[in-house]
């Protein structure tokens, strides 16, 4: 998205959409609307979903920021719906520990921009 904004070349916007669609296909939990940190079948005992930012930013926060930005750039209500559902799924955890979930807070703030 940054390359699209800088260049105005719609090919970058299309590539961003491809990446977001691929991330949704691999990591979106259809039951809750939230995102997992790992793809299925990776040999893990359980698929985890971390919401807090540590040495690595929260994957959920990163995908939400991308979803909100791409939904706005493409005027894509289907992406906005995915992002809103995921935000609602993690909102209680963010409300409990907002200091540890700055990536998610940034995503939630971005949705109103």
pLDDT digits (tens, 9 = 90+) for 43-72: 767 777 777 787 778 888 889 999 999 999
Q: What's the CA gap between 17 and 22, in Å, rounded?
A: 8
Share of the chain above pLDDT 70, in %: 94
Q: Is 57 exposed, middle or buried (0-12, 13-18, 19+ CB in 10 A)?
A: middle
Q: Tell me the mean pLDDT in the region 19-43.
A: 88
More confident residue, 82 or 94: 82
Q: Tell me the mean pLDDT in the region 91-107.
A: 82
Segment of 36-45, 46-55, 71-80 carrying the highest mean pLDDT: 71-80
């Amino acid at each position: 998205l940054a390359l699209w904004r800088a260049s105005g070349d719609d090919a970058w916007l299309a590539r961003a959409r491809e990446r977001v669609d691929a991330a949704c296909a691999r990591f979106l939990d259809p039951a809750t609307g939230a995102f997992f940190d790992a793809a299925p079948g990776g040999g893990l005992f359980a698929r985890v979903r971390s919401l807090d930012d540590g040495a690595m930013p929260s994957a959920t926060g990163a995908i939400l920021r991308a979803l909100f930005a791409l939904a706005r750039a493409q005027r894509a209500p289907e992406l906005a719906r995915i992002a809103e559902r995921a935000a609602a799924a993690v909102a209680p955890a963010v409300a409990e520990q907002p200091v540890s979930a700055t990536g998610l807070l940034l995503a939630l703030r971005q949705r109103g921009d």
